[in-house]
Amino acid sequence: MAHVSQKKKQEYALLKEYFKTYPIIGIIDLTHLPSRHFQKIRAELRNTVLMRVTKKRLIKLILPQLKDSIKNIESLTSYLENSIPALLFTKEDPFKLAKKLTKTKSKAPAKPGQIAPFDITIQKGPTKFPPGPIIGELGAAGIKAGIEEGKVAIKEDKLLVNKGEKITQKEADVMAKLGIEPMEIGLNVMAILQNGLIYDQDALSIDEAKIIAEFKQANAYGIQLAVSIGYLTKETIKILLLKADAQGKSLVEKVNLPLEQLEASLAEVPTEEERFNRLSTEAAALIDELKDKKIQKQMRGG
């Protein structure tokens, strides 16, 4: 049996206590994060977040052992790969926490081997470079360039790196020369577990302003549809009344009648019952007329 040091036993016991104490658990990635920057973030959030840097193998060992007490805890294991993980423990709402962590990030140039966080596109247009070797360097990266007004200009947009792909040395060099900083220095939250639900990077990086704008647009479309079909709600009643008033005035103008005369004409329009009675009377009179004609014809010997 392999010997387990006292230090590892203490670490294991401490982690189990953290898992028991905190209802919200996360995996963060420290890859490419300078130690000084990490310590600064840790100090800023020390009142709300506990971060524990420990061996990846120990994390993999402890997570399955907690499956009976913490729902879906084993799902965090998949976020340990391809990273330098650390554990995050907190009682704060995951989305509020993610927002705080986002504010601690700063832009940084790309390094070879890093994963592109989004599609990195080189936009066409002028650069600050005079004619020289830069044209060949851009061409080697598949970027069409030429000379315009004494400066190197990129002729057309070029998708340099797809999201999720590794950035090569050549691509990193080009981006550095063009002043493109696609990376961010900061805590990279891989996933957070709360009440059995896993919130990954995409879920935690929701743009609140965009979501609110989409809700407002959907609400506007809904009201527009309700008004167009005449559906009455407290939101549409005023609009529909104004619409009816405008249409009524438009009708008056089209028939070229004074409002009083139009109202009088409308008052003379019979109801359904009146129209039925009128037709019945006319039909009865017509039948009597036909009977009289038939009798007269018979009397004449016809």
Give pLDDT tens digits for 233-245.
Answer: 888 888 888 887 7
Domain boundaries, the chain: 6-106+185-206, 120-183, 213-296
CA quadruple 178, 166, 36, 192: dihedral sign: positive
Chain mean pLDDT for the chain: 83
Looking at residue 160, its pLDDT comes to: 93
In this prediction, residue 114 has a pLDDT band, given cuts at 50, 70 and 90, of confident
Q: 6-106+185-206 has which CATH code?
A: 3.30.70.1730
Average pLDDT, integer, range 46-50: 90
Question: What one-character-per-residue DSSP string does the chain give?
Answer: -----HHHHHHHHHHHHHHHH-SEEEEEE-TT--HHHHHHHHHHTTTTEEEE---HHHHHHHTGGGTTTSTTGGGGGGGGTTS-EEEEEESS-HHHHHHHHHHT-EEE---TTPBPSS-EEEPPEE-SPPSSTHHHHHHHTT--EEEETTEEEE-S-EEEE-TTPBPPHHHHHHHHHTT---EEES-EEEEEEETTEEEEHHHHT--HHHHHHHHHHHHHHHHHHHHHTT---TTTHHHHHHHHHHHHHHHHHHHT--HHHHHHHHHHS--HHHHHHHHHHHHHHHHHHHHHHHHHHHHTT-
pTM of the complete model beyond 0.85? no
> Looking at per-residue confidence, does 208 or 124 come out higher?
124
Give the model confidence (pLDDT) of 171-218 as tens digits.
999 999 899 999 888 888 899 999 999 999 888 887 777 888 888 888
Task: State mean pLDDT over 116-121.
Answer: 90
Give the confidence band of 1 by pLDDT, cuts at 50, 70, 90: very low
Report pLDDT for 117.
86
76 pLDDT tier (thresholds 50, 70, 90): very high
Query: Is pLDDT of 293 > 60?
Result: yes
pLDDT of residue 81: 85
In this predicted structure, the answer to whether residue 159 has a pLDDT above a threshold of 60 is yes
pLDDT for res 194: 94
Q: State which fold the 120-183 domain adopts.
A: Molybdopterin biosynthesis moea protein, domain 2 (3.90.105)
Q: What percent of the chain has pLDDT over 90?
A: 31
